[in-house]
Amino acid sequence: MRNMPDSDALERAKKLVQKSNKITAMTGAGISVDSGIPDFRSEGGLWERYDPHEYATIESFMQNPTKFWTMGRELAETILNAEPNSAHRGLSKLEADGKMIGIITLNIDNLHQAAGNSRVVELHGNYLRAHCIECNEEYIGETVHQSVANGEIPPRCEKCNGVLKSEAILFGEPLPENAMAEATVMCRDTDLMLVIGTSLTIYPAAYLPQIAKNSGAKIILVNLEGTNRDSVADIVLKGRATEIIPKIVEG
């Protein structure tokens, strides 16, 4: 196994999980890499092929939605083919065991819901939901993105023929207020926060673990390269989420 933390740190993390009953997870791109969804910012990621300022800002979308959906065709193919991995399933097990109060995610891939978690706060939206920018008709599920994968760009509303926009948050759009408020409440209510697969560099989301810490929670950070805020953690576990999470949630 590569980059596995020492057994003592794993055992301490496992004991924290065992004695906690109000666990929250905060997840980023790193938890989904082993499901076949590369980190957008990493080598080979989406931003290496598509300039986000040209393809993924709210301004560029309103000017030319075809550009976003051209990039979106590749993204749709990746997300529609992805399945939850052992880290997602580990978090689902915590909910099934009655130990988890919810997940806060920066991801747009719907994999936590697919794994079985019921309370998922999506700070960056969900790529599998869309709405019409003219009449606000909502589209949920794979239909829109399957049509995009088939070359229908941009997808249009069946009611008014308006352009559809994915509910994934674009650069220049604010985080959804309700989601951020719910995430903050969750952080204040938790006794243990698992921060998984995010480098904690984007604010205000990066401050959420500090809110949990200030409210008395323990913090376990799980990331391949560490994070921008390792100092907030009680335990730092460097390695792949798919290898670490199953080890600390078992039992």
- DSSP string over 220-242: EEEESS--TTGGG-SEEEES-HH
Helix axes 241-249, 7-19, angle to 10 degrees: 50
CA pair distance 237, 90, nearest whole angstrom: 16
Say whether 218 sits in a helix, a strand or coil.
Answer: strand
Contact 112, 120 (CB under 8 A): yes
**Choice among 53, 88, 112, 124 that is catalytic:** 124
Q: How far is CA 54 from the centre of its chain?
A: 23
For residue 48, what is the enclosing H or E element? helix 46-49
Does residue 131 have an active-site annotation?
no
Task: Please state, in angstroms and rounded to a whole number, the distance separating the CA atoms of residues 192 and 145.
Answer: 36
- Joined together, the tokens standing for residue 70 give 């051209």
Catalytic residues: 124
